[in-house]
Structure 1
Amino acid sequence: MANKTIRTLVFILAFSIAGYAIVQYGILQASNAGLVSFKLQKPDFALKPWIYVLYTHIFTAIFALIIGPFQLFIKPTLARRSWHRRLGYGYVVSITVSGIVNVYLSLFATGGWISSFGFMSLDVLWVSTTLIAVRKIIAKDIQAHKIWMLRSYALTFSAVTLRILLAPLAILLGDFEAAFRVVAWACWIPNLLVIEFVIARMRLRQRQ
């Protein structure tokens, strides 16, 4: 029952954040988004080409965010295996592209080098865990593939935790830049700690 509730919550949060991003950046003006409007207040900030790189990062990350739960929580039966493989390709390509372009965005992260280092670390781990998962499935190590994909999606889910934490942190600290320095790390480190706990429990059950 608890597992079903958690999975449902992951679906709801992933699709909610994806829907928000699509509306904010795909339908409304990007300049009205909190991060973009904050950057536009700085006279030395050049919106282009930064905004185009941001669009690339957002929409590839969204694709990975909404694909992930289907890949992790719906068992790839024989009938679904081809779709699982196709969606898996899409997930890996999306993360690879998003991770690469996010290196550029990290260099201009709000909050200076602390934020840049946090997001850069996230990018490296995000792409690395995903590619390790690919290597494991090529080697036909299904269990290891699943474990590394759990780590990969925990990092993908940082898109959700960032947006959950940013506003409360900004209010608590009274400074958007200070909040961004914190959230650059807080959006993904707790996710990894939680998923490592889940993985440890999975391994313990397998030994019993």
Structure 2
Amino acid sequence: MANKTLRALVIILAFAIAGYAIVQYGVLQASSAGLVSFKLTKPNFELQPWIYVLYAHIFTAVFALVIGPFQLFIKPTSARRRWHRRLGYGYVASIMISGIVNVYLSLFATGGWVSSLGFMSLDVLWVATTLTAVRKIIAKDVQAHRVWMLRSYALTFSAVTLRILLAPLAILLGDFEAAFRIVAWACWIPNLIVIETVIRRMRLRQQY
């Protein structure tokens, strides 16, 4: 029951944040988004080409965010294996693209070098866990592939935890930049701690 509840919560939050991103950046004006509007207050900030790189990151990350639950929570039976593989290609490709553009975005992160280092660390781990998962499935180690994909999606899910934490922290601290420095780390480190706990429990169940 707990696992089903957690899965349902992950799916709901993933789709909610994906929907928000699509509406905010695909339908409404990007300049009205909190992060973009804050950056526009900075006299030395240049919107272009930063905004186009941000769009590339958002839509590839949203793609991975939405695909992830289907890949992790639906068992790839014989009938579904082809779609599992195709969606997997899409998931990995979206992370590789997002990982590349994130290097640029990290250099200009709100909050200075503390935020930059946090997001750069996230980016490196995101790409590394995903590529490790790919290597495991190429080696036909299905169990290890699943474990590394869980880690990969935990980092993908940082898009959700960032948006859950940012507004309350900004209100609590009264400083958007200070909140952003914290959330640059807090959006993904707890995710990894949680998923490592889940993985440990999975392994313990397999032993008994």
Structure 2 length normalisation: TM-score? 1.00
Which blocks of at least 5 consecutive residues in structure 2 are unaligned? none
Q: Secondary structure at the match of 1:48?
A: coil
Q: 1:51 Cα deviation (Å)?
A: 0.1
Pairing 1:7–2:7 present: yes
**Deviation digits for residues 123-160 of structure 1 (CA, Å, limit 9, x no counterpart):** 00000000000000000000000000000000000000
Corresponding position of 1:203: 203
Corresponding position of 1:135: 135
Q: How far apart, in 2, do the equivalents of 1:181 and 1:6 lie?
A: 28
Letter in 2 for 1:147: V
Corresponding position of 2:182: 182
Pairing 1:96–2:116 present: no
Q: How far apart, in 2, do the equivalents of 1:69 and 1:100 lie?
A: 23
Letter in 1 for 2:52: Y
Corresponding position of 2:155: 155
**Deviation digits for residues 171-206 of structure 1 (CA, Å, limit 9, x no counterpart):** 111100000000000000000000000000011111
Q: Secondary structure at the match of 1:109?
A: coil
Which blocks of at least 5 consecutive residues in structure 1 are unaligned? none
Q: How far apart, in 2, do the equivalents of 1:4 and 1:197 lie?
A: 16
Q: 1:2 Cα deviation (Å)?
A: 1.1
Q: 1:79 Cα deviation (Å)?
A: 0.2
Q: How far apart, in 2, do the equivalents of 1:75 and 1:200 lie?
A: 20
Q: How many corresponding residue pairs?
A: 208
Corresponding position of 2:144: 144
Q: How far apart, in 1, do the equivalents of 2:207 and 2:4 lie?
A: 23
Q: How far apart, in 1, do the equivalents of 2:77 and 2:204 lie?
A: 25
Q: How far apart, in 2, do the equivalents of 1:7 and 1:78 lie?
A: 23
Let me know the Cα RMSD of the aligned residues.
0.3
Q: Secondary structure at the match of 2:84?
A: helix
Pairing 1:34–2:34 present: yes
Corresponding position of 1:115: 115
Q: Which runs of 4+ in 1 moved over 6 A?
A: none
Pairing 1:18–2:18 present: yes
Corresponding position of 1:173: 173
Corresponding position of 2:58: 58
Corresponding position of 1:105: 105
